[in-house]
Amino acid sequence: MSEIKTRFAPSPTGFMHIGNLRTALYSYLLAKSQGGKFVLRIEDTDQVRHVDGAEQVIIDTLKSTGIEYDEGPYIQSERLGIYREYADKLIESGHAYYCFCTPERLESLKDEKGIGGYDGHCRTLTQEDIQKNLAEGKPYVIRQKMPDSGTTSYVDEVYGEVSIDNSELRDQIMIKADGYPTYNFCHVVDDYLMGITHVVRGNEYLTSTPKYCLLYDAFGWERPHYVHLPLLMGKDADGNVSKLSKRHGAVSFQDLIGDGYLPEAVVNYIALLGWCPKDSNQEFFTIDELKKSFSMEGLSKSPAVFDYEKLKWFNSEYIKKMPDDEYGKIVMPILEKIFSDNINIGKLSELLHGRLITFGEIGERTEFVLKRLDMDNSLYINKKNKTTPELCKQILNECLPLLENLESWDNDSLFALLKEYSASSGIKAGAVMWAVRIAVARQGITPGGATELMEVFGKNESIERIKLAISEL
Ligand code: GLU
């Protein structure tokens, strides 16, 4: 077989749905796993739905996910002449025809439910009728002439054979009255002209593909391979699943990034939503590893369910693995926005590194640093360390002057000081650490121990919080 070539052909809607991103990814991986080429084509012939700046969203998303196109972006609205030229060829060969039917007539063909196809009325117009209508400037569309009988089938790489009775096919519009082509027509022309060997896309096109096959046949072109992908589903509150949509959570790549997910984690997770490696249980993949491992045999035809918990897990693992400098580049600006100079945000960032699930939760996770939270003295009770509010009060009272006298306020010095106090007082180190940690944090679960937190707070705030705790105990 000649070199494989795939494409991603999104409509510019202004956001990148996760399902579309997965289509792009699989299409890209299929080409790259076999040393082929990948094309980007923007399908913007639906002018009503056009959104300004939407192309850039697509380009930016591909860039940040590492999906690199070798050709394009081709823009369909810049290729209108080409589609018209190919539509004319089909008129000439008798596979397409002018249709001058008025909107009123088309409306009258619909049943009570508003459903109705075209009845082929203009199929039989004579050359004279056509020339006369054109000369009068009557609006028209160009329709594909479907065969009246027989069946059309193709073999999808994922779903197997798909077959349809030609009598069920309506004469669909190829070129609209405004001169713009329909998706149904122009994507076929483009896929052919761009040399696409494998069409990878969502399975909503599975059953309309016979119509596209008929276009290939009418032109005498070799049909491409079709790889339709199952829908992405979301889990509903009642335990059922339905097409992944906003009510399940963030569904666009942009929203996920906005919620603090890493592009690499998103790509890794969605790669596994409908595909799995052949002979391994490998879960972590860089895009380069995916390029090596991907194959069509690993694709599944059962709908994949998007699991936000699993994505969170991937993301937290990716954050943990980030080198400190890369991690700092993302986290420090967020912390700088939240905190004033008094807080040691370098240390805080370090404490959060192994513990964050997304970057979006930094505000919530550090609220106890920003504010002195209301707290309950029962937090001082800890069975393992045998602490009580009374014992904690004693510890804090005795440590306060020692801390006030401490010159260098860093984790090591603070740790040494509390250890020494524990030794001289005979109170277990665990109890001392517990009392101080609760007093400064004012909450039970913290990213880091007593002395690390005191380094984050700095001397003044730590002392103030301990004094406040004593007064409350
Ligand atoms: N523009 C179409 C869509 O976004 C592309 C379908 C295809 O890949 O052929 O659904």
For residue range 199-219, list pLDDT tens digits in order.
Answer: 999 999 999 999 999 999 999
Nearest ligand 1 atom, CA 187:
9
Mean residue pLDDT across the chain = 95
Q: At residue 117, does pLDDT exceed 90? A: no
Instruction: Tell me the pLDDT band of 342, cut-offs 50, 70 and 90.
Output: confident
Q: What does the pLDDT look like over 229-251, one tens digit per residue? A: 999 999 998 989 999 999 998 89
**Entry pTM:** 0.91
What residues does each domain of the chain span? 5-77+183-229, 81-151+160-175, 232-321, 324-370, 377-472
C-alpha 10 to ligand 1 mean position (Å): 5
Q: Where are the extended beta strands (E) located within 313-437? A: none
Nearest ligand 1 atom, CA 13:
4
What is the rounded CA–CA span in Å between residue 299 and residue 30? 11
Q: What is the mean pLDDT of residues 129-149?
A: 97
Q: Taking the CB of residue 270, how many other CB atoms lie within 10 A of it? A: 26
Q: What does the pLDDT look like over 299-336, one tens digit per residue? A: 999 999 999 999 999 999 999 999 999 999 999 999 99
Q: Does domain 377-472 have CATH number 1.10.10.10?
A: no
Q: What does the pLDDT look like over 21-44, one tens digit per residue? A: 999 999 999 999 999 999 999 999
Q: What is the mean pLDDT of residues 248-275?
A: 96
What is the rounded CA–CA span in Å between residue 5 and residue 1? 11
Tokens 């640093």 locate to 369
Non-local CB neighbours of 71 within 8 Å, separated by 6+ positions: 37, 38, 39, 40, 194
Q: What is the mean pLDDT of residues 261-280?
A: 95
Question: Whose alpha carbon is nearest atom 2 of ligand 1?
Answer: 10
C-alpha 74 to ligand 1 mean position (Å): 14
Predicted local distance difference test score (pLDDT) of residue 321: 96
Among 205, 227, 231, residue to substitute to test ligand 1 (most atoms within 8 Å of Cβ): 205
The answer to whether the CB of 212 falls within 8 A of the CB of 185 is: no
C-alpha 233 to ligand 1 mean position (Å): 18
Does the CB atom of residue 201 touch ligand 1 within 6 A? yes
Among 7, 11, 51, 189, residue to substitute to test ligand 1 (most atoms within 8 Å of Cβ): 11
Tokens 């002449």 locate to 81
Q: What does the pLDDT look like over 51-94, one tens digit per residue? A: 888 999 999 999 999 999 999 999 999 999 999 999 999 999 99
What is the rounded CA–CA span in Å between residue 380 and residue 436? 9
The answer to whether the CB of 157 falls within 8 A of the CB of 6 is: no
Q: What is the mean pLDDT of residues 167-178?
A: 95
Predicted local distance difference test score (pLDDT) of residue 391: 97
What is the rounded CA–CA span in Å between residue 459 and residue 404? 8
Which residues are identified as catalytic? 246
C-alpha 40 to ligand 1 mean position (Å): 11
Q: At residue 279, does pLDDT exceed 90? A: no
Instruction: Tell me the pLDDT band of 1, cut-offs 50, 70 and 90.
Output: low
Nearest ligand 1 atom, CA 43:
1
Q: Which long-range contacts (CB under 8 A, 24 or more apart) does 148-154 make?
A: 152/210, 152/211, 152/213, 152/214, 153/210, 154/209, 154/210, 154/213, 154/223, 154/226
Predicted local distance difference test score (pLDDT) of residue 410: 96
Q: What architecture is domain 81-151+160-175?
A: Alpha-Beta Complex (3.90)
C-alpha 23 to ligand 1 mean position (Å): 10
Q: At residue 389, does pLDDT exceed 60? A: yes
Does the CB atom of residue 289 touch ligand 1 within 6 A? no
CATH of 5-77+183-229 among 3.40.50.620, 3.90.550.10, 3.40.50.150, 3.30.450.30? 3.40.50.620
Predicted local distance difference test score (pLDDT) of residue 47: 75
Nearest ligand 1 atom, CA 201:
8
Does the CB atom of residue 43 touch ligand 1 within 6 A? yes
Nearest ligand 1 atom, CA 10:
4
C-alpha 230 to ligand 1 mean position (Å): 14
Does the CB atom of residue 465 touch ligand 1 within 6 A? no
Q: Does domain 232-321 have CATH number 3.20.20.10?
A: no
Q: What is the mean pLDDT of residues 214-225?
A: 98
Q: Taking the CB of residue 284, how many other CB atoms lie within 10 A of it? A: 12
H helix intervals, 204-286: 209-219, 253-258, 263-271
Predicted local distance difference test score (pLDDT) of residue 115: 76
Among 43, 194, 206, 212, residue to substitute to test ligand 1 (most atoms within 8 Å of Cβ): 43
What is the rounded CA–CA span in Å between residue 188 and residue 216? 7
